[in-house]
Amino acid sequence: MSAIPLEKVHGKHLATKILPSHFSNSDYTFSVESLIARVQTESSSAGSIKHLAYTQFAGQPAYLIETSVKRHMFHAKTGERFEPLTENQVVELAYQHYLGDAELEKVILLEKSPAEASRATGSVWQVRFYDTWSTTLYFSPTSAELVSIRSDIWRLFDFVWMLHIMDYDEREDFNNPLLISFSISALLFTMTGFLLLFRSFVRRKRPAV
């Protein structure tokens, strides 16, 4: 696994994770305080504000207001709530992030994010390019964020990593019962080996009668 640079595993040579922003403070004119108040009064279950960011949504200046249960995206000039990404918007975003020159293979909105889109929850846009490594980009429909960059390089690394840590479900738990059991067994076999080696030396040193 160490033969593959992590930059290639993470797909940094295939796509850029964050697009440069061309907006300034003058583009964020709508009252963010009123948007926070709107979010807090929309529902009693909206939760407390966890995060506020000046960002962008599909090429438009945006406020990201994140509560303990949901993310909200508002236009920074009009205060209007952004609708989830459309297929045309996702395609345009994908080409902006993608560093190659291959054509699109498929674009699909998945109701449940696949395991390889590890940071994504809920529905997610999957965009796959027809290139050597089957580069696949996952976008959040609600925030327009590129949440994961995946390729056959990552898939190979993930498979070997699964075998290495012996976590065949989540592929991220170092302390899973199977690995702990094998570790304890290996320790017992090692201690037994040292015991047998020690006994062999004792027998050799025993004087003849």
pTM above 0.85, yes or no: no
| Band of pLDDT at residue 73, cut at 50, 70 and 90 | very high
Residue 163 belongs to a domain: no
Residue 165 belongs to a domain: no
Residue 65 belongs to a domain: yes
Residue 24 belongs to a domain: yes
Task: Tell me which DSSP letter residue 25 carries.
Answer: G
Residues 192 and 108 in one domain: no
Residues 178 and 110 in one domain: no
Residues 64 and 106 in one domain: yes
Residues 187 and 139 in one domain: no
Residue 155 has pLDDT above 50, yes or no: yes
| Band of pLDDT at residue 5, cut at 50, 70 and 90 | confident
Structural domains of the chain, count: 2
Residue 99 belongs to a domain: yes
With vertex at residue 79, the alpha carbon angle to CA 74 and CA 80, rounded to the nearest 5 degrees, is 70
How far, in Å, are 8, 138, 146, 153 from residue 149 at the CA level? 10, 7, 8, 11
Residue 160 belongs to a domain: no
pLDDT of residue 118: 75
CA–CA gap between residue 119 and residue 137 (Å, rounded):
12
Residue 1 belongs to a domain: no
Residues 144 and 53 in one domain: yes
Residues 115 and 37 in one domain: yes
How far, in Å, are 17, 57, 143, 173 from residue 75 at the CA level? 22, 8, 12, 40
Q: What is the mean pLDDT of the chain?
A: 83
The share of the chain scoring above pLDDT 70, in percent, equals 78
Residues 94 and 184 in one domain: no
pLDDT of residue 62: 96
Residue 44 has pLDDT above 80, yes or no: no
Residue 49 has pLDDT above 60, yes or no: yes
CA–CA gap between residue 113 and residue 29 (Å, rounded):
35
Residues 179 and 119 in one domain: no
* Residue type present at position 197: L
User: 43-57 burial, b for 16+ CB within 10 Å, e for fewer?
Assistant: eeebeeeeeeeebbb
Residues 71 and 111 in one domain: yes
Which of residues 172 and 143 earns the better pLDDT score? 143
H helix or E strand, kind and range, residue 84: none
CA–CA gap between residue 60 and residue 81 (Å, rounded):
12
Residues 52 and 144 in one domain: yes
| Band of pLDDT at residue 171, cut at 50, 70 and 90 | low
List, for residues 99-118, the tens digit of each pLDDT value. Answer: 999 999 999 999 998 888 87
Residues 148 and 179 in one domain: no
Q: What is the pLDDT averaged over residues 11-35?
A: 93
- Provide the residue range defining the domain that includes 190: 174-204
Residue 166 belongs to a domain: no
Which of residues 50 and 90 earns the better pLDDT score? 90
The share of the chain scoring above pLDDT 90, in percent, equals 49
Residues 191 and 95 in one domain: no
